[in-house]
Amino acid sequence: MIQRFFSLAHKAFPILALAVLFPVLTACEPSPDKALSQQAKSGDPAAQYELALAYSDLQQYEKAVHWWKQAAEQGHAPAQVDLGLMHQIGVGTPQNLVEAQRWYLAAAEQGNASGLHNLAYLYRRGNGVERDASQAAAWYLQAAQQGIAHSMSAIHEAHLSHGGAIGYRGISGEQFHGSRAS
C-alpha cells in the first residue's frame, strides 16, 4: 500500500509542482502578448497594429479589425491599408467598398505604396468607386515609383492595350519607364 502511495505521489508531483510554481513563473516577466495588449490599450498605434496582426494570425478577424481601426484612426498607414483590405473582402467586418476606398485613400495620401496600389485597383475595376482609368493610372504610377511590381505591370498592360502609342490616359512611356528606373 505504501509503495503504491509513493508511486502515485511520484507521478503527481510534476503536476502539483507546476500548479504551485505557475503563478510565480508567470509573474516574473509579463508575456509579450500582455505587454503588447497593454500598449495597444494605452493608445499606441504601432502596438495596436501589431496586436491586430496577432489576432489576424489567430484568425480572430473581428478583433483584428477592431485594433486595425484604432491604429488607422490615428493615421497609421499600414493599419489603414489592412483595414481597407478587410472592408474590401468582407472579413472580420461586412464588405464595404466605400470604406475600403476611404482607408486606402488615407494611406495613399501618406505615400504608402500598398495604399496607392490598392486604391488604383479600385479605380481600375470600379469597385466601390466610379471606374476611372485616369485615376487608376495616377495612383498606379505613384505606387510603381515606389517599386510595386504589380503597379508597374498594370501600367504596362494598359499602355499596351491602348496601342502603345498614347500612354495610359495621360501616362507617357517616358513616365512609365522612368518609374522603373527610380
pLDDT in tens, 60-87: 999 999 999 999 999 999 999 999 999 9
More confident residue, 154 or 43: 43
pLDDT over 70 at 152, yes or no: yes
Question: What pLDDT sits at residue 173?
Answer: 46
| pLDDT tens digit sequence for 34-62 | 999 999 999 999 999 999 999 999 999 99
The residue ranges of every structural domain in the chain are 30-110, 113-182
With bands split at pLDDT 50, 70 and 90, how would you rate the model's confidence at 17?
very low
Residue 68 Cα distances to 56, 84, 85, 144, 177, angstroms: 10, 10, 11, 26, 35
Bigger pLDDT: 151 or 104? 104
User: Under CATH, to which class is 30-110 assigned?
Assistant: mainly alpha
Whether 112 contacts 105, CB under 8 Å: no
Q: What predicted TM-score, i.e. pTM, was given to this entire model?
A: 0.70
pLDDT, average across residues 26-37: 64
Instruction: Residue 94: count other Cβ atoms within 10 Å of its Cβ.
Output: 8
Indicate whether 170 pLDDT > 70.
Answer: no
At 38, list the grid cell.
Answer: 497593454
Phi, psi for 128 (deg, rounded to 5): 80, -10
Q: Which of 149-180 are b and which e, b meaning 16 or more Cβ less than 10 Å from the residue's Cβ?
A: eebbebbbebbeeeeeeebbeebeeebbeebe
Question: Residue 90: what are its φ and ψ, rounded to 5°?
Answer: 75, 40
Closest C-alpha among 85, 130, 94 to residue 112: 85
pLDDT at residue 28 tops 80: no
Among 6-10, 32-36, 65-69, 126-130, top mean pLDDT goes to 65-69
Q: Which of 96, 93, 36 is nearest to 62 (CA)?
A: 93
3-state SS record for 103-144: HHHHHHCCCCHHHHHHHHHHHHHCCCCCCCHHHHHHHHHHHH
